[in-house]
Chains A and B, each alone.
Chain A
């Protein structure tokens, strides 16, 4: 992989997340315009990102095991009593 490609690929994530300073962003954009393989990497990354962001909410979530909330609340309560005692 060419050095320029390596540099561009290492900044793909903040580039796609719009987290790069304007100058660096323009630099990566210019490279992508000129380099089909890197453009393809960017397209793949964007594809994976988009699917996950749009679809994750549809994935089934496992219900909390019975009793877990009660047990965690008890942990909180014990901590509260300890704090009161130590005052």
Chain B
């Protein structure tokens, strides 16, 4: 995967590096938004983004031109974040992740909901959506966001989050359903648990 840029007196290194830098800097906004989503603190997010750029430029030769730079930078950012969290693991609460899993995978209640997405689209306020997202366990929120908003492929998300593809899909699935539950009336038991477990660092990786 490591490919060196050609070196020569006419300066392809500079050209390649400049293009890399230019493109990397256009991705500052989505990277900062991702960092905010992960850290939930402005100063920490800013730090995380700067760290990401330092690493990205230090290892820029490892980037394969023509592949997805955004996905590559997101992977660095997520790895950096995971390493930081590992360093401060004492701060995280040991949560019963099985409760979250069970709550999220329950089939719905007895009543049939017809055209749920239409009802939701009509009735969901932006503030409700934001609150529902905030209440999701972090692992689910990130998987769902990377898939449905950023539209990355499962394999790219697996690389970013450092988990197998099956885990990515199950996090997306549960995240979407928890989001639906939260928006469709009601903070039911599932989202209650989700709220409680929002500091889980790893849920459902296997």
Contacts and interface: CB of A to CB of B under 8 A. Distances in A.
Contact of B169 (A1, A14, A44): A14
B14 A50 contact: no
B72 interface: no
Interface residues of B, number: 56
B36 A13 contact: no
Interface string A49-73: 1111111101111101100110111
A80 B149 CA distance: 33
Interface residues of A, number: 48
Contact of B57 (A9, A45, A79): A79
B33 A40 contact: no
Contacts of B32: 62, 64-65, 68
A37 B112 CA distance: 9
A40 B184 CA distance: 13
Contacts of B149: 52-53, 56
Interface string A5-16: 000011011100
B78 interface: no
Contact of B17 (A9, A71, A83): A83
Contacts of B179: 48, 51-52
A38 B112 CA distance: 11
Interface string B25-47: 10011001100100000100010
B17 A47 contact: no
Nearest to A39: B112
Given A40-B112, A50-B121, A79 B58 contact: yes
Contacts of B147: 17
B173 A45 contact: yes
28 contacts: A9-B173, A17-B147, A40-B107, A41-B108, A43-B116, A44-B181, A45-B173, A47-B176, A47-B180, A48-B177, A48-B178, A49-B176, A51-B129, A51-B179, A51-B183, A52-B145, A55-B121, A55-B129, A62-B32, A62-B36, A64-B29, A64-B32, A68-B28, A69-B28, A77-B21, A78-B57, A79-B60, A84-B14
Interface of B: 7, 13-14, 17-18, 21, 24-25, 28-29, 32-33, 36, 42, 46, 49-50, 53-54, 57-58, 60, 105, 107-108, 112-113, 116-117, 120-121, 124, 126, 129-130, 133, 144-145, 147-149, 154, 166, 169-170, 172-173, 175-181, 183-184
